[in-house]
């Protein structure tokens, strides 16, 4: 039954500054087309197509039966914080203690809470563009001044440190890094991080280092700025379980930061969520301490798909694609096709039945690119290539 709305919806002004993630909009449109009987290949959404490994699922079920169904501490269960501290110490080569860890429902809340806790109106935040759209959304939401740093294809989507140095000012409070990078698959190497640390120098600037794809790296090893000399107290390391362990729906991530900031972020948790679900945290301990072979297998499978899909795109007229070094996205340059990114993404969905995202979903410097998620079967990726190729040849591009 519909009800007439009598009162005007008067939203707070800041709501007009909140952005979104286009992936969900494209997914909705794709589902609508499917309801109309169309066959759509989903390459828009950024989540592993694998199930959560059974040892983790069983641990979550056992935890439910064992009564892990109550509130827990806002900063996370002590045992999980300890397990995360051990994992970060081992993988990043820098000593981390449990009091520096805050467990939150997914990686996203660490972006939200860091920006809420650190950024006042007018403070400048440097962030990658193209980049994960939530950074810009949250900076704008709190009234910060977003300073996009362009990631360039000719630099293999790394970060130009001279450009970064030019963007840093007395108003800079935060620099956001993301490696491996969504949407380009770019990776920051040790030398890049050393140079970034040098550019920051001894300024009182925080780095939010989004490392949610740290386990999905194909060539070489993952490096974190938290290990650079002098940067540990100014780094907020974001990582989590969504991508590494195919646990997107469990909602569990974490931040590693100096204890006094961790305490403030825990206060934001108390005010917003109270705590992350207790039984999922018990499963998180199993994820970190249990068998890791499924992570390795998933990574190898993504690499196989990447190699096939990038080679396939490079055979299509109007497309040219670099080989991403990490994450599970492919970001081809489509300027030679003669279409704007959004128009091409829309046409591929509506006419070819392939759902992907426009590069502009990740900021203005994403114009000229499309993002394909390779979190789909080899067979579907091959079918997607055939459809795109056919569509392009029908258009005489």
Q: Which residues bind ligand PLP (CB under 6 A)?
A: 46, 106-108, 132, 178, 182, 210, 212, 240, 242, 248, 253
| CA-wise closest residue to 327 among 221, 239, 214, 227 | 214
- CA distances (Å), origin 77, targets 55, 74, 239, 265, 296: 20, 8, 17, 15, 27
49 or 210, CB closer to ligand PLP? 210
Contacts of 110 (CB under 8 A, 6+ apart): 102, 104, 208, 236, 238, 253, 254, 255, 265
Residue 242 CB, nearest distance to ligand PLP (Å)?
3
Residue 37 CB, nearest distance to ligand PLP (Å)?
30
Report residue 338: phi and psi, to 5°.
80, 20
Residue 348 CB, nearest distance to ligand PLP (Å)?
21
Q: In what order do the strands lie in the sheet with 253-256?
A: 101-104, 253-256, 235-240, 206-210, 172-178, 124-129, 145-150
- Beta-strand ranges (E) seen in 60-198 are 101-104, 124-129, 145-150, 172-178
Residue 131 CB, nearest distance to ligand PLP (Å)?
8
72 or 133, CB closer to ligand PLP? 133
Residue 212 CB, nearest distance to ligand PLP (Å)?
4
The DSSP code for 53 is: P
Residue 162 CB, nearest distance to ligand PLP (Å)?
24
74 or 214, CB closer to ligand PLP? 214
Side-chain half-sphere CA neighbours of 396 within 13 A = 0
| Distance between CA atoms of residues 323 and 309, nearest Å | 10
Which DSSP string corresponds to 244-291? TTT-GGG--EEEE--HHHHHHHHHHHHHHTSS--HHHHHHHHHHHHS-
Contacts of 246 (CB under 8 A, 6+ apart): 47, 48, 50, 51, 52, 53, 298
178 or 195, CB closer to ligand PLP? 178
| CA-wise closest residue to 126 among 151, 143, 149 | 149
Residue 352 CB, nearest distance to ligand PLP (Å)?
25
Residue 230 CB, nearest distance to ligand PLP (Å)?
25
Angle, helices 108-118/259-272, rounded to nearest 10 degrees = 110
- CA distances (Å), origin 364, targets 172, 230, 335: 21, 33, 14
Q: For the chain, state the CA radius of gyration.
A: 21
Residue 383 CB, nearest distance to ligand PLP (Å)?
24
Residue 252 CB, nearest distance to ligand PLP (Å)?
7
| Distance between CA atoms of residues 256 and 262, nearest Å | 8
132 or 372, CB closer to ligand PLP? 132
| CA-wise closest residue to 213 among 148, 139, 295 | 295
46 or 148, CB closer to ligand PLP? 46
46 or 185, CB closer to ligand PLP? 46
116 or 165, CB closer to ligand PLP? 116
| Distance between CA atoms of residues 180 and 214, nearest Å | 6
The DSSP code for 231 is: T
195 or 280, CB closer to ligand PLP? 280
60 or 318, CB closer to ligand PLP? 60
């Amino acid at each position: 039954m519909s009800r007439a709305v009598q009162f005007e919806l008067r939203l707070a002004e800041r709501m007009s500054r909140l952005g979104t993630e286009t992936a969900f909009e494209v997914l909705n449109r794709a589902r609508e087309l499917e309801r109309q009987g169309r066959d759509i290949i989903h390459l828009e959404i950024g989540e592993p197509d694998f199930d959560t490994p059974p040892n983790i699922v069983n641990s979550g079920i056992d935890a439910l039966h064992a009564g892990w169904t109550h509130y827990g501490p806002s900063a996370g269960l002590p045992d999980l914080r300890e397990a995360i501290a051990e994992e970060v110490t081992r993988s990043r080569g820098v000593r981390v203690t449990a009091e520096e860890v805050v467990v939150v429902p997914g990686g996203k809340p660490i972006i939200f809470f860091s920006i809420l806790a650190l950024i006042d109106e007018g403070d400048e935040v440097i962030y990658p563009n193209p980049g994960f759209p939530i950074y810009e959304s949250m900076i704008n939401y709190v009234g910060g001044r977003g300073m996009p740093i362009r990631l360039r294809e000719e630099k293999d989507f790394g970060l130009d440190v001279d450009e970064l140095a030019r963007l840093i000012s007395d108003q800079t409070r935060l620099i956001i890094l993301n490696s491996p990078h969504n949407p380009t698959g770019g990776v920051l190497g040790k030398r890049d991080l050393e140079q970034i640390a040098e550019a920051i120098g001894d300024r009182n600037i925080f780095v939010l280092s989004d490392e949610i794809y740290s386990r999905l790296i194909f060539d070489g090893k993952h490096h974190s700025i938290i290990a650079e000399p002098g940067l540990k107290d100014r780094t907020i390391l974001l990582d989590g379980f969504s991508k590494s362990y195919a646990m997107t729906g469990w909602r569990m991530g974490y931040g590693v930061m100096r204890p006094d900031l961790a305490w403030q972020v825990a206060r934001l948790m108390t005010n917003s969520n109270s705590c992350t679900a207790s039984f999922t945290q018990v499963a998180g301990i199993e994820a970190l301490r249990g068998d890791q072979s499924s992570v390795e297998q998933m990574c190898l499978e993504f690499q196989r798909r990447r190699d096939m899909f990038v080679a396939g795109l490079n055979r299509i007229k109007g497309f040219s694609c670099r080989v991403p070094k990490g994450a599970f996205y492919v970001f081809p340059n489509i300027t030679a096709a003669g279409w704007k990114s959004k128009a091409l993404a829309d046409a591929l969905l509506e006419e070819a039945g392939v759902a992907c995202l426009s590069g502009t979903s990740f900021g203005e410097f994403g114009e000229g690119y499309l993002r394909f998620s390779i979190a789909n079967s080899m067979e579907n990726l091959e079918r997607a290539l055939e459809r795109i190729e056919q569509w392009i040849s029908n258009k005489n591009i």
